[in-house]
Amino acid sequence: MSGGLDSTILLYDLLDQGHKAHCLLFDYGQRHIKELGFAEATCSKLGVTFDKISLPPQLFQRSALTTGADSLVGQPTIVPNRNMVLIAMAASYALSHGCTAVSCAVNSDDADVYPDCRAEFIKNLNFALRCCHTRRMEVHVPYIVRTKAKVVEIGWRLNVPFDETWSCYADGDEPCGQCGACQVRLKAIADAGHALQ
Amino acid sequence: MSGGLDSTILLYDLLDQGHKAHCLLFDYGQRHIKELGFAEATCSKLGVTFDKISLPPQLFQRSALTTGADSLVGQPTIVPNRNMVLIAMAASYALSHGCTAVSCAVNSDDADVYPDCRAEFIKNLNFALRCCHTRRMEVHVPYIVRTKAKVVEIGWRLNVPFDETWSCYADGDEPCGQCGACQVRLKAIADAGHALQ
């Protein structure tokens, strides 16, 4: 759980469906580390247990999200193989603690920029997860067939307080409105609003 | 690199083939953490750079290798999804630092007990790795088609000093001779010796 729009909506969605959840919050050296404060606050509010996991800083270099690079839009924001590392760790955690699946809130718009959000990647990762252990494991990606605007609609239906989420890649006091994450968030909310008119 | 027989032989083998190597040494809460001291000593001796990476203790539970459980033979020694976590991290590191591949010393005997050493698992993991990023990545497993005895033969041919490796799962001063790791090591060396007679 990042504390952004999609993962927060997914948590509300899973609880609404009657699932029991445990969240993993990852510090992977992202400059917008403040997102995890939003994730923690949501977990606490919903009575959901969580672990905060710090990853070694050597792993994820060459990304604008973990370095001081300027451009926070498009390809420079890719963090190499991030989702395999996070999902693999979540699968180990799940197998170690008796959880039945990992859930991840990638949506179909994420595929435009991020290779490790694409259906092809997740499908192959699931083939590996299904044979990684003596018990079955898999990653559940309910939003991979939905645009971010459709995820926003689910959030509205579940009364998710969007102001309790943080998407911006910059580390300012307010969302910058310019980075890749702000752009797709604003567009998704606008698109979802138009769809309701 | 664990500091055991297979990964140490693989390092010598890669260098012998003219590759440049950088090793990752993982502290995942294994009770036989002393193996990493052997890995470090080998890297230093060979002039190979390395990083030591500590994983969060919550991840790998329910394994005799990370808990105080007694039996160090067979299924209890499985660490849930360990190899996906380690290989995923190595792939992120490789993509972040301009390395072209990850190498991992699983051998065909490992498949008897460990699901995350089987060809099926590695094959699917490679399908995922090949599409995880904008650049190609893969894990190279040259010993997966060789028994541990055949790996021992490679080690002998390359004059790898076996007394500078540590396999034992227990944390004693000397190898216990009884645990799963000691058993397969002793059997592989015996089998390789017979094959040479």
The more confidently predicted of residues A71 and A144 is A144
- Taking CB atoms and an 8 Å cutoff, what residues of chain A touch B115? 131-134
Q: Which of A83, A89, A141 to mutate to test the interface with B (most CBs of B within 10 A)?
A: A89
Instruction: Provide the pLDDT for residue A196.
Output: 82
Residue A63 reports pLDDT greater than 80? yes
Q: Quickly list H helices, chain B.
A: 5-16, 35-46, 82-97, 119-129, 148-157, 180-196
Residue B61: per-residue pLDDT:
82
Q: Cα–Cα distance between A148 and A141 in angstroms, integer?
A: 13
**Nearest chain A alpha carbon to B98:** A62
pLDDT of res. A171: 85
Nearest in space to B20 (alpha carbons), one of B9, B11, B29: B11
Whether residue A95 is predicted with pLDDT greater than 90 in this model: the reply is yes
For strands B139-140 and B102-103, give the pairing.
Answer: parallel
In this structure, the number of other CB atoms found within 10 A of the CB of residue A47 comes to 7
pLDDT computed for residue B57 by the predictor: 83
Task: Give the per-residue pLDDT at B106.
Answer: 98
Q: What is the mean pLDDT of residues A48-53?
A: 97
Q: Which residues, including other chains, have CB under 8 Å from residue A87's CB and lie 6 or more apart? A: A102, A104, A125, A129, A139
pLDDT for res B30: 92
Q: Which residues in chain A are closer than 8 Å to B60, comparing Cβ atoms?
A: 92, 96
Distance from CA of A88 to the nearest CA of B (A): 5
What domains are there in chain A, each with its CATH number?
A: 5-196 (3.40.50.620)
Give the span between the Cα atoms of B101 and B93, in whole angstroms.
Answer: 10
> Per-residue pLDDT tens for B91-149?
999 999 999 999 999 999 999 999 999 999 999 999 999 999 999 999 999 999 999 99
Q: Tell me which of A97, A114, A120, A131 to substitute to probe the interface with B (most B C-beta atoms closer than 10 Å).
A: A131
Of B54, B88, B127, the CB nearest to A124: B127
Question: Does the structure show a pLDDT above 90 at A50?
Answer: yes
Contacts of A63 in chain B (CB under 8 A): 96
Residues of B34-56 as b/e, b for ≥16 C-beta within 10 angstroms? ebbebbbebbeeeebebeebebb
Q: What is the mean pLDDT of residues A79-104?
A: 96
Are B91 and A83 in contact (CB < 8 Å)? no
Query: Quick check: A79 and A115 in contact, CB under 8 A?
Result: no
Does B127 reach chain A within 8 Å, measured CB to CB?
yes
A146-196 confidence digits (pLDDT tens): 999 999 999 999 999 999 999 999 989 999 999 999 999 999 999 999 988
Q: Which positions of chain B have pLDDT values less than 70?
A: none
In the three-class reduction of DSSP (H, G, I as helix; E, B as strand; rest coil), residue B94 is classed as helix
Of A50 and B64, the one with more pLDDT: A50
Could you tell me where the DSSP H helices lie in B26-179?
35-46, 82-97, 119-129, 148-157
Contacts of B134 in chain A (CB under 8 A): 75, 78, 115
- Give start and end residues of each alpha helix (H) in A35-81: 35-46
